[in-house]
Chain A
Amino acid sequence: MGLTVGNMIMIVVALVLLYLAIGKGFEPLLLVGIAFGCLLANIPGAGISDEGGLLYYFYKYGLETEIMPCLIFLGIGALTDFTPLLARPVTFLLGAAAQFGVFFAMFLADMLGFGIKEAASIGIIGGADGPTAIYLTVKLAPHLLGAVVVAAYSYMSLVPLIQPPVIRLLTTQKERETVMEYPKPVSKITRILFPIVTTIVTCLLLPDTTPLIGCLMLGNLLRESGVTDRLFKTAQGEMINIVTILLTIAVGGTMGAETFLTAATLKIIALGAVAFAASTAGGVLLGKLFYVLSGGKINPIIGAAGVSAVPMAARVSQVEGQKANPENFLLMHAMGPNVAGVIGTAVAAGCFLALLG
């Protein structure tokens, strides 16, 4: 079996992704594995992604079953501190508004000729949440997995470039200068009840989100319960690391030349950028409404953090707020919509599964 032109192009793609990850620091923990999986999948004659190959089994048992994205969500739940959200619950709505790009990009993808299931998988890129994008795409449009995941993770590293122009376009200097007050601290009992109540309410309303929300909230309960420290430490450390290694090379393994080198991939990458920008706009616009309703107490920039991409998007809010006013520290305020965005994206995925799955 010879090396095809497609294989050669994909090996170059893998090398570029490795360079971005190692040389430029683009999501290295994810892109190194994805790029390496892509490299392996394009070695002719190895058949590593074909039935019987190593990456085939990683995919079949880890991804097709959805076990790995759910375990990652368990780890993320353990890593996530929801207190900024609980301290100012209204920011939950900002996390919801920043899902706008998901639906906007889905609509555009549908118009560009993608099927509705493919369009939903492309739209979810705008949620800026890797495991959710993987979860949904495996269920709805597995042939697009490589392109969707690469677009999602690449744009997540580009959040500091994509968001600031959108934020500045939609807000005034005076709005961006707004210094926010710190809300009251959150009690331990609230932090323990949050994952339990969220699970019951969300999963009863939208049973399709149960695997993702269930794992996310169990991870968070391990963190907050105060009596499961050993499990918490493993979930947010070794477990998520091990699963990340397996998951990323399994995703990379789907990037064979014949499935990846298509016009669809280019469209997905373009639509992904639109999705991110539109999600940012959705969050900021609701932020502006909050600014007015609160009498100028809520800085609309933090709406942009609703796209999840934890904590990069919150850092962007911090940088933009401080540029407008050196006395402005939005970081912790932006964490509220930021972590709400994780739940928001999982709920959006659940809606798609309920309607299209």
Chain B
Amino acid sequence: MANGNLIEIRAKLPGQVTIHPGKHPMKNTDLPGVGDVVEERQEVAFIEAMKMQNQILAPKKGKVVEIHATTGDMVKVGDLLMTLEEL
């Protein structure tokens, strides 16, 4: 398998993160974990700020390589959340 470009997904605002193995806060479905393929603009995580769940979307189609945060973590702007391998 050819190694595609790695895409880093970082926190764009400060708040409390929800990420795999946490559940989608509204739909209660599974969020993508390592090995899953995500489509462009698919929700990969949420950051709660001002009582609002802000969706973090995949910028491109890719496979989840690593998850760097844990549900419940307070993240700052720029903190690494997830690495994707571009497909």
Contact = CB atoms under 8 A, between A and B. Distances in A.
Given A182-B77, A326-B59, A327-B59, A318 B14 contact: no
Nearest to A179: B12
Contacts of A327: 12, 57, 59
Contacts, number: 31
A311 B50 contact: yes
Interface residues of B, number: 13
Q: Give the residue among B12, B41, B52, B57 with the most A Cβ atoms within 10 A.
A: B12
A266 to B, nearest CB: 34
Interface residues of A, number: 13
A335 interface: yes
Contacts of A318: 52, 54
A329 B56 CA distance: 9
A145 interface: no
B51 A329 contact: no
A305 to B, nearest CB: 11
A326 B50 contact: no
A209 B76 CA distance: 37
Given A315-B50, A326-B57, A326-B59, A331 B13 contact: yes
B59 A332 contact: no
Contacts of A311: 50-52
A97 interface: no
B59 A331 contact: no
B50 A335 contact: yes
B14 A332 contact: yes
Contacts of B55: 322
B6 interface: no
Interface of B: 12-14, 41, 49-52, 54-55, 57, 59, 77
Give me the 4 closest cross-chain CB pairs, A-B, nearest first. Answer: A329-B12, A329-B13, A326-B57, A311-B50
